[in-house]
Structure 1
Amino acid sequence: MPGAPAPAGATSDDITPAAVRQQSIALVDDDRNILTTVSIGLQAEGFATRLYTDGEAALKALLDNPPDLAIFDIKMPRMDGLHLLQSLREQSSLPVIFLTSKDEEPDEALGLAMGADDYITKPFSQRLLIARIRAILRRSELAKTTNEGSARENLPEPVLRGRLSLDPARHQVTWDGEPVSLTVTEFLILEALALRPGVVKSRNQLMDAAYSEDVYVDDRTIDSHIKRLRRKFRAVDPEFTAIDTLYGAGYSFTDG
């Protein structure tokens, strides 16, 4: 197993260099004990880790050299996790998991509305954290499928629904020809709705589409992602109404 994380004074480090590419996880938390514990656990599962104790320094590094996934604490000095996510989402759809305390539920809901892919409440088990990470990374890898070489013929076809164009192979979405940047989770929820226009999908069905079987999320997680989807499309088209709510039943996508 790789050695322990770098000394606490370091702002960031690539902890586990390797000859072959490892999936990398960035950890941003001002609690160095949590950084050390989580980093060692991730390394034991084969991940490379980068550690940041400061949100401002983390933001620059995440944009300059993106990892495969990032984990943010919410409560941090200078730039907290919410502001870090907000700044990151202006330029990147990097998958993000929030670590929250039980008394931070409003922040947790806000984080999901701002574009976090998942959250985990402290105290948490390493097994749960690893399961959530692997689930999001699996979805992210599927979204990054390219049309190179022999894989071309196996690519899913673009989904065209009225003014919506959704290309699963390239993780690209446009509305009226204007690009809309979505996180992996948002993309999968939209895809599930757009594949069956007019059909009401329950929150449980959307959870199944966006999350693996070993990950549980509650209703408000889906609601937060839907709110953010609408907000992103309305930034392109203020009259966007293609995602309908049927109260008590779920959501549907309307062609047109």
Structure 2
Amino acid sequence: MVEDDETIRRSLGMALERYGYRVSSAPDGLAGLEMFREVRPDLLLLDVMLPHLDGIGLCHRIRETSQAPILMMSARGDALDVVAGLEAGADDYVIKPVDTSVLVARIRMLLRRTTFTAPTAADSPPQDADGLLRFRDLSVDTLGLDVRVDGRPVALTPTELRLLLEFVAAPGIAQQRQTLLRKVWDYGWDGDIRVVDLAVQRLRKKIGADHIETIRGFGYRFRR
């Protein structure tokens, strides 16, 4: 956890430890980057407004070497903060002050995403016995969880991988943003569909924009 407010850092750390998590914390972005390199955590909780290196910049730096889940915290809930964090590679965000039970629910949700089960669908495309799906230059190994474009491996975050698995399980089928939010992000309540849009945008950059069609006012469709 990287949080510059000492009171929040201490109280939130203690609260998370009561839920059974082991928490390492830092007071600024540069200290957080150094701590990340030493600890290699399962999940990162980053404040947006940090001294020396802000949360957006820290998220960018972490994404250079790690696909670990990142949960951003914003005091303002400003749309620009949210979008910037998601574009930098964050998986989700919460608005401060945040109820501990809500924060823990988001953390559990992100950590569950690191244990994958490939989605199934009646209209899923033919695949090899080893679980390999092919879409022109894109290949997705649903068992080995390996994604390649033109034979080159593609590094995806857990969220991006779950999103891609949902898409390739049902090519040609239109999927609502709210449905993807529920299935990929495990939201049991209405969430911000910008999370979906920004994740699709990042996924397109990695696998090729032409694989995912936008259905205006509805959602997305993966090309057969």
Tell me the TM-score normalised to structure 2 length. Answer: 0.87
Paired position in structure 2 for 1:249: 218
1:175 corresponds to: 149
CA 1:64–1:120 in 2, change beyond 3 Å: closer, same or farther? same
SS at match of 2:175: coil
Q: Cα 1:103–1:138, aligned 2, differ >3 Å: closer, same or farther? A: closer
Per the TM alignment, residue 215 of structure 1 is displaced from its structure 2 partner at its CA by 5.7
Residue 126 (structure 2) aligns with: none
Matching of residue 223 in structure 1 with residue 183 in structure 2: no
Amino acid at match of 1:161: F
| Number of residues of Structure 1 aligned to a counterpart in Structure 2 | 212
Q: What residue number does 2:87 align with?
A: 113
Alpha carbons of structure 1 residues 241 and 97: separation in structure 2 relative to 1, 3 Å: same
Distance 1:48 1:215 in 2: 28
Q: Output aligned runs, 1:118-137, within 5 Å.
A: 118-137=92-111
The match for 2:22 is 48
TM-score by length of 1: 0.77
In structure 2, how many angstroms separate the alpha carbons of the residues matched to 1:80 and 1:64?
19
SS in 2 for 1:198: coil
Matched, 1:193 2:167: yes
Q: Percent identity?
A: 33
Inter-partner Cα distance in structure 2 for 1:171 and 1:67: 21
Aligned residue type for 1:210 = V
User: Where does structure 2 lack aligned partners over 5 or more consecutive residues?
Assistant: 118-129
> What is the rounded CA distance, in whole Å, between the counterparts of 1:87 and 1:168 in structure 2?
29
Q: SS of the counterpart of 1:142?
A: coil
Aligned residue runs from structure 1 range 122-161, under 5 A:
122-142=96-116, 157-161=131-135
Q: Is the 8 A contact 2:172 2:223 kept in 1?
A: yes
* 2:171/2:223 contact within 8 Å kept: yes
Offset at residue 120 of structure 1 (A): 0.2
1:60-91 CA deviation, whole Å, 9 max, x = no partner?
33234311101000001110000000111111
Aligned to 1:210: 184
- Specify which of 67, 81, 89 is matched with residue 93 of structure 1: 67
Which amino acid in the other structure matches residue 137 of structure 1?
L
Identify the residue that residue 8 of structure 1 maps to in structure 2: none
CA distance in 1, matches of 2:102, 2:204: 30
- The residue type equivalent to 1:60 in the other structure is E
Paired letter, 2:64: E
CA contact 2:138–2:207 (8 Å) conserved in 1: no
Cross-structure match for 2:122: none
- Matched residue SS, 1:173: strand
Give 1:8-23 correspondences, 5 Å limit: none
Deviation of the 1:101 alpha carbon: 1.8
Report how far residue 42 of structure 1 moved.
Answer: 0.7
Q: d(CA) in 2 for partners of 1:74 and 1:134?
A: 21
Deviations 1:165-214 (A, max 9, x none): 22344443111111221111111111111111111111012112212244
Gaps of 5+ in 1: 1-26, 144-155, 235-239
Runs of 4+ in 1 over 6 A off after TM superposition: none
Contact 2:2 2:46 in 1 (8 A): yes
Matched, 1:36 2:10: yes
Cα distance in 2 for residues equivalent to 1:174 and 1:87: 23
Aligned partners of 2:181 and 2:187 also within 8 Å? no
1:22 is aligned to none
Q: Deviations over 1:39-75 (max 9, x none)?
A: 1111101110001112112223323431110100000
CA drift of 1:242 comes to 0.8
